[in-house]
Structure 1
Amino acid sequence: MVLRAPAKVNLCLAVGPRRPDGYHPILSLAVAVDLEDRVEIQPAPALEVVCDDPAVPAGGANLAHRAAALLAQAAGREPRVRITIEKRIPVEAGLAGGSADAAAVLVGLSRWWGLDWGDEELARLGLRLGADVPFCLRGGAALMEGVGEQLTPLGDLPRLALVLASPRGARLSTAWAYQELDRARRQPGDLEAARGRIDGALAAWRRGDRAALGAKLFNDLEPVAYRALPELAPLAARMAREGALGVVVSGSGPTLVGLAAGGEAARTLSGTLATAGYRAAAVETLPGDRGSPRLTPDRNS
């Protein structure tokens, strides 16, 4: 069984004050994109997860491993499977790569074991693994609230051409970024004020006004990423000079998301940045029916 696991980007992200349980309430305009990991599930004597990227943790520190073990426990099964992950989503890049892989494992194993579990049951289980997993299970475009588990699907939106770019080798820990945000900012984030900004961005997206949408991208974690990695500022400036209609940090970073006028513009910008030594990819947003983990028809697809 082979599945594709799409990355997630945040076009807008507001972060509220830290809760007593350590989590932060958020409000985010998020969308799946066609940068995808490949996740293969095969029978094996015992649970094993292997990955072609040495930066991906092994064992219980790996979200895909934890997803298989958690679903097996909940279903009363023995997780006798080998999970092979071919990484295309960079690690610790603000693109929910680990959560995407975990979501793919939950979807794949629920089918492998013939479980008659609905989306809500898998989402509740996924939330125990990470706040992005419920979104990665659903995909498409959505407004994320709570800690990320409250999702309002957003349908009938024009597809966007984006460029994902970062300095090669750059990584940022999500946990560290939130801690640094708490330490550095003087006032907690105002989620209600942010809601109006996101409504404006969504209205621009719906009417296909990419220039207006580009001007409304924001992320409360962006200053943290820029302080941690000073090389992000010149990269963002270059993306804007080269035609990006808006540039924003995705998640906790370090990936920058550049909104392009169209697919050709995105490919041109991505090529220019790659030639300059950056890690860059031209991607498109995915509709709901393709923006969640999905089975592929053959092993080499």
Structure 2
Amino acid sequence: MTVNAYAKINLSIDVIGKRPDGYHEVLMVMQQIDLFDKVTVKWIEDQSEKPDQKQETAPNPNQMGKGISINLSTNLPFLPDDHRNLAYRAASLMAETYCRNRAGEIRIKIEKRIPVSAGLAGGSSNAAAVLLGLNRIWELDLGLTSLMDLGVKLGADVPFCLAGQAALNENLCLQWDERAGTCAVASGIGEQLEQIKPLKCWVLLSKPPIAVSTAQVYGGMDLAAIKNRPNTMELVCGIKEHNYHKISKNMVNVLENYSLKEYSSIMYTKNKMVETGKPMKALMSGSGPTVFGLYTSRKKGKEAFERLKYMNKETFFIKTL
């Protein structure tokens, strides 16, 4: 089966502090957008032996459980196709957790459109798609909460990606769950979600041709020096009320304090978007490097896209979901 794996943007990010386990406590608003990879998951059962006849030990490092192998391919030759890929690790986790008595091959094909290492949760969305796909194919009947508890072991953004994909992919046949949705307030390390009414607008995305280390950004931040923080509750109220002045006022990403100083191309992209595109608000997504601008007018946003698409190759004009 094929699952649309959607990207996300951060309408706000606040870093509250550092936890004893080394992770950072955050409070943010995440919104899924109509930019997606296509993730196809196929299961080929090994019919040569019945499950109870299989050996207890996996025959090689590429096999999970009692005899499940994983074959991953993408349309981008530089992407890893082994345990370094979150989608691969998602398949491994599902196999080890729920299907240790089965044998066969999991084939994963990823058609990438979401920019890589962009602050858009592309890897997390791919992992979520694999979890949801295998849940359906193997008829495990896991609910969204169970999948989220599993997904957070792979990454903090995976639960939000699961929630959005569950809401947007009807072929997953998941029972309705109040945790499904495309916009949420996220707390903890980003895994604790409260679904809210999604923002409706157009989005201009532009990614400079660089990669940013999330760990470096969080590690390099001086939390005490942050002066401007988002008012998350005001932002949520603005979204509910369709009050775009209140929304733009409270759209703040504190990670910009580090990333804009360390990476001049991010600052340049944001400044050009503000000057040339004149969006309602321009902000960096995640830890960067992608910058996005919000528009209530499709015509105005499209005109801005036509002007800015020559600056960075990976520039898109899409909408929120």
- Please, what TM-score do these two structures have when normalized by structure 2? 0.81
Q: Do 1:174 and 1:252's aligned partners in 2 also have CA atoms closer than 8 Å? A: yes
Q: Do 2:207 and 2:314's aligned partners in 1 also have CA atoms closer than 8 Å? A: yes
Deviation at 1:158, TM superposition (A): 4.5
Greater CA deviation, 68-77 or 99-108?
68-77
Whole-Å Cα distance in 2 between the matches of residues 79 and 255 of structure 1?
Answer: 39
The gaps in structure 1 that reach 5 residues or longer are 287-301
Q: Deviations over 1:156-195 (max 9, x none)?
A: x45121111122x2111212211112xxx152879xx957
Q: Secondary structure at the match of 1:269?
A: helix
Q: Do 1:72 and 1:78's aligned partners in 2 also have CA atoms closer than 8 Å? A: no
Deviation at 1:251, TM superposition (A): 0.4
Deviation at 1:78, TM superposition (A): 4.1
Whose radius of gyration is greater, 1 or 2?
2
Q: Deviations over 1:44-78 (max 9, x none)?
A: 57311111123422211110000001011111244
1:24 matched to 2:24: yes
Identity across aligned pairs (percent)? Answer: 35
Q: Do 1:16 and 1:188's aligned partners in 2 also have CA atoms closer than 8 Å? A: no
Counterpart of 2:295 (choices 249, 260, 271) is: 260
- The amino acid of 1:201's aligned partner reads L
Deviation at 1:277, TM superposition (A): 4.0
Q: Secondary structure at the match of 2:7?
A: strand
Q: Do 1:92 and 1:172's aligned partners in 2 also have CA atoms closer than 8 Å? A: yes
- Paired position in structure 1 for 2:206: 165
Q: Do 1:27 and 1:194's aligned partners in 2 also have CA atoms closer than 8 Å? A: no
- Paired position in structure 2 for 1:246: 281
The within-5 A match list for 1:4-43 is 4-43=4-43
Q: Secondary structure at the match of 1:25?
A: strand
- The amino acid of 1:83's aligned partner reads I
Moved over 6 A (4+): none
Counterpart of 1:114 (choices 132, 136, 139) is: 139
The within-5 A match list for 1:19-168 is 19-44=19-44, 46-76=69-99, 77-78=102-103, 80-139=105-164, 140-155=182-197, 157-167=198-208
Q: Do 1:10 and 1:250's aligned partners in 2 also have CA atoms closer than 8 Å? A: yes
- Paired position in structure 2 for 1:177: 217
Whole-Å Cα distance in 2 between the matches of residues 189 and 108 of structure 1?
Answer: 41
- The amino acid of 2:161's aligned partner reads C
Greater CA deviation, 124-133 or 158-167?
158-167
- Paired position in structure 1 for 2:234: 200
Whole-Å Cα distance in 2 between the matches of residues 224 and 268 of structure 1?
Answer: 31
- Paired position in structure 1 for 2:256: 222
Q: Secondary structure at the match of 1:254?
A: coil
- Paired position in structure 1 for 2:65: none
Q: Deviations over 1:78-136 (max 9, x none)?
A: 46111000111111100000000000000000001010111111001000000000010
Deviation at 1:27, TM superposition (A): 0.3
Whole-Å Cα distance in 2 between the matches of residues 119 and 134 of structure 1?
Answer: 9
Deviation at 1:23, TM superposition (A): 0.8
- The amino acid of 2:252's aligned partner reads F
Q: Secondary structure at the match of 1:71?
A: helix
Whole-Å Cα distance in 2 between the matches of residues 142 and 64 of structure 1?
Answer: 23
Q: Secondary structure at the match of 2:135?
A: helix
- Paired position in structure 1 for 2:306: 271
- Please, what TM-score do these two structures have when normalized by structure 1? 0.87
Q: Secondary structure at the match of 1:59?
A: coil
Q: Secondary structure at the match of 2:79?
A: coil
Counterpart of 2:269 (choices 235, 242, 248) is: 235
Q: Deviations over 1:238-272 (max 9, x none)?
A: 21122211111100100012111222222221221
Q: Do 2:207 and 2:312's aligned partners in 1 also have CA atoms closer than 8 Å? A: no
Q: Do 1:10 and 1:28's aligned partners in 2 also have CA atoms closer than 8 Å? A: yes
Whole-Å Cα distance in 2 between the matches of residues 225 and 276 of structure 1?
Answer: 19
Q: Do 2:43 and 2:104's aligned partners in 1 also have CA atoms closer than 8 Å? A: no
Query: Structure 1 residues 194 and 275, CA, compared in 2 at 3 Å: closer, same or farther?
Result: closer
- Aligned residue pairs, count: 278
Q: Secondary structure at the match of 2:76?
A: coil
Query: Structure 1 residues 272 and 60, CA, compared in 2 at 3 Å: closer, same or farther?
Result: same
- The amino acid of 1:243's aligned partner reads K
